[in-house]
Amino acid sequence: MGYAAKAELDDSGRVVTLLTADHSSGRIYTITVESVKDIFGQRISTDTKVSTKKFAGAGGSEAAGGGALSLEAVVPINVNTIDLVFSSELTDDELEDMGVKVRVADDYDYDLPSKLSPVKFFVDNKKNVRLQFKTDKDNNPDVFEAGILFEAEVINIDRLNSKGDANVETFAGTSNPNEAPEVLEVNALNSTAVEVLFSEPVKGITASRFEIEDGIDISGISVKNSEEITDRVLIYISSKTQLDDDEYKLYVKTGIKDAAGFSPLNTKNLTSGKYIEFDGDSTENEPPFVESDITVLDSYTIQFVFNEEIGDISNSSFSVRRTSGKSTSINVSKAVLADDRRTVTLYLNSRYTGLSSDYEYELVINSSVRDLQGMAVDSGDREVEFYGEDIELEELEIISRYIDEDNKVITLIANRELNISNLNIGDFEFSGAGYYGSSSDKVEFNDKSITITLRNELDSEEEFLIEITSGGRGKIKDYNNQELSTEEIEIDTN
């Protein structure tokens, strides 16, 4: 990420806030402090145990006012499409539950079309939600007229900060038309892979939508199903009909539409409305390999990067063993492939002995690890050596809590990603704020948060206490199989 764009020291003289580029969720970063002096002129130690720390990319900051999520901006895309930009990633359930009210700002004489309804989908990442509006009579109406200001209010997300209308953002109308998607480029990556780029996210992509002349056999595509939304697809070529350094024609058949499913692919830029020509590439596909050093994030977590995108992985895709001293296998608790499909983080089981600076280790890559064309890591590249480090694993704890305006839904956010298999309301004990239990009280969870929903509203402006039982703490674990350390949480009701 490079250097921070801005650094601010607070009034205490102890806390520094850094403005950086966006973090990628699921990726671990290193921060190094250099040449900083205390008030007596003593310079910070160059010992990496003092000057270097690790942190996990969270995809955004905590919402202002105590919420776990904030609406940061609404961006107009065209006359009927807007993007909602959030401070951190949403879950699939939150996207499904999310509602959006759009209205004309005060002092503007304009009427929105009647019976508006949006199609919602993620674009680029799960921080960005695109809304494409239609009416009961028109799938491509003019909604957001240029010169008019509009407001978008996001509702039905429990952890969204709504204090002081923080869930409402203003945006300007635009004259940009909503045009149908097009094929922008077709590029041969090697003799067995062709990349197709679209002008916007689309769906309806299947292998049967493409044909390459003459006699080139398409063995598959990178898109898993026709409902997947993407602006890029790889077409895989059979090894029996590999490309040469010749010119080819890619035929694109009907069925591909914009992400909302309204507008079919515009084929006017295709020759005869059917195909686009591209240059072949006779270069053979090469197997993937780990191109980075093995980074030891702590005594139970390592991270490394492949030279290209790889397919799905599992916990058994990798193993770690100590090679110096007595040879010992290290238990892998969780293997996570980041959104870039190149960065892998291995979480080792904290219940067993972790890495140590006293020993050398070896990462072993299973033959099941393959690139997107199905080529496995070469046998000579499946073992990568690295040294251990003595960096203590950060304990798992609840660092943020939020209660909705109705004093019924509580969201708990941990400092690390969660790995919970089961959890129920009996794993918590509640008191204060007039709490009256109900069999309808429930708890839900995902890898980012725990949500407690109460049937009965809590009393206003009171202190509510949540105690997590020992059994509950044993169920709430991180990817390192580390149990929750937080025993109780206090919340002030609205």
CATH code assigned at 218: 2.60.40.1220
Separation in Å, CA 130 to CA 114, 259, 437, 457: 20, 9, 39, 33
**62: pLDDT confidence band, cut at 50, 70 and 90?**
very low
Question: Which of these three, 279, 311, 341, is where a domain ends?
Answer: 279
Rounded-to-integer distance, Cα 473 and Cα 397, Å = 10
Whether residue 375 is contained in a domain is answered as: yes
pLDDT at 59 over 70: no
In this structure, the answer to whether residues 432 and 351 fall within a common structural domain is: no
- Whether 321 and 343 have beta carbons less than 8 Å apart is answered as no
Tokens 């109460």 label which residue?
454
User: Within a 13 Å sphere around the CA of 146, how many CA atoms are in the beta-carbon half?
Assistant: 5
Whether residue 288 is contained in a domain is answered as: no
In this structure, the answer to whether residues 420 and 473 fall within a common structural domain is: yes
pLDDT at 65 over 50: no
Q: How many domains does the chain have?
A: 5
Tokens 């923080």 label which residue?
166
> pLDDT at position 57, please?
57
DSSP 64: G
Whether residue 393 is contained in a domain is answered as: no
State percent of the chain over pLDDT 70. 92
Q: State in Å, rounded, how far the first CA of the chain is from the last one.
A: 39
Structure tokens at 232: 């890029």
Of 23-32, 35-44, 327-336, the range with the lowest mean pLDDT is: 23-32
Separation in Å, CA 378 to CA 242, 366, 373, 375: 21, 10, 14, 9
In this structure, the answer to whether residues 113 and 31 fall within a common structural domain is: no
CA dihedral angle for residue 415, residue 420, residue 424, residue 430, rounded to 10 degrees: -10
Structure tokens at 354: 């972790």
In this structure, the answer to whether residues 301 and 351 fall within a common structural domain is: yes
Give 187-237 as a DSSP string: EEEETTEEEEEEEEEEE---GGGEEEETTBPEEEES--STT--EEEEEEEE
In this structure, the answer to whether residues 456 and 486 fall within a common structural domain is: yes
Rounded-to-integer distance, Cα 425 and Cα 262, Å = 43
SS3 annotation, 335-387:
EEECCCCCEEEEEECCCCCCCCCCCEEEEEECCCCEECCCCECCHHHCEEEEE
User: Strand, coil or helix: what is 230?
Assistant: strand
Whether residue 120 is contained in a domain is answered as: yes
In this structure, the answer to whether residues 94 and 146 fall within a common structural domain is: yes
Rounded-to-integer distance, Cα 358 and Cα 354, Å = 11
Rounded-to-integer distance, Cα 471 and Cα 478, Å = 15
Backbone torsions φ then ψ of 316, nearest 5 degrees: -90, 0
Of 3-17, 120-134, 449-463, the range with the lowest mean pLDDT is: 3-17
Whether residue 263 is contained in a domain is answered as: yes
pLDDT at 14 over 60: yes
Mean pLDDT of 437-455: 92
Residue with more model confidence, 384 or 158: 384
Entry pTM:
0.72
Mean pLDDT of 350-368: 94
pLDDT at 468 over 90: yes
Rounded-to-integer distance, Cα 333 and Cα 300, Å = 10
pLDDT at 424 over 50: yes
Question: Which of these three, 151, 172, 193, is where a domain ends?
Answer: 172
- Whether 493 and 460 have beta carbons less than 8 Å apart is answered as yes
In this structure, the answer to whether residues 70 and 30 fall within a common structural domain is: no
Query: What Rg do the C-alpha atoms of the chain give, in angstroms?
Result: 26
In this structure, the answer to whether residues 69 and 52 fall within a common structural domain is: no
Rounded-to-integer distance, Cα 3 and Cα 7, Å = 10
In this structure, the answer to whether residues 273 and 204 fall within a common structural domain is: yes
**pLDDT, tens only, 180-214:** 999 999 999 999 999 999 999 999 999 999 999 88
Rounded-to-integer distance, Cα 483 and Cα 88, Å = 24
**pLDDT, tens only, 243-281:** 999 999 999 999 999 999 999 999 888 888 899 999 999
- Dihedral class, residue 439 (left if φ above 0, else alpha if ψ from -120 to 50, else beta): alpha
Whether residue 392 is contained in a domain is answered as: no
> pLDDT at position 401, please?
87
CA 330, 335, 337: angle at the middle one, nearest 5? Answer: 150
Of 43-52, 255-264, 377-386, the range with the lowest mean pLDDT is: 43-52
pLDDT at 116 over 50: yes
- State the residue range of the domain holding 373: 295-387
Other Cβ atoms less than 10 A from the Cβ of 347: the count is: 26
In this structure, the answer to whether residues 159 and 257 fall within a common structural domain is: no
Of 4-8, 286-290, 403-407, the range with the lowest mean pLDDT is: 4-8
In this structure, the answer to whether residues 473 and 421 fall within a common structural domain is: yes
**pLDDT, tens only, 201-248:** 999 999 999 999 888 999 999 998 999 999 999 999 998 999 999 999
Distance of CA 251 to the CA centre of its chain: 33
> pLDDT at position 405, please?
83
In which element (H, E) is residue 129 found? strand 125-134
Whether residue 459 is contained in a domain is answered as: yes
Whether residue 289 is contained in a domain is answered as: no
In this structure, the answer to whether residues 70 and 151 fall within a common structural domain is: yes
Other Cβ atoms less than 10 A from the Cβ of 379: the count is: 10
**Closest to 461 in 3D by CA, of 391, 395, 407, 394:** 407
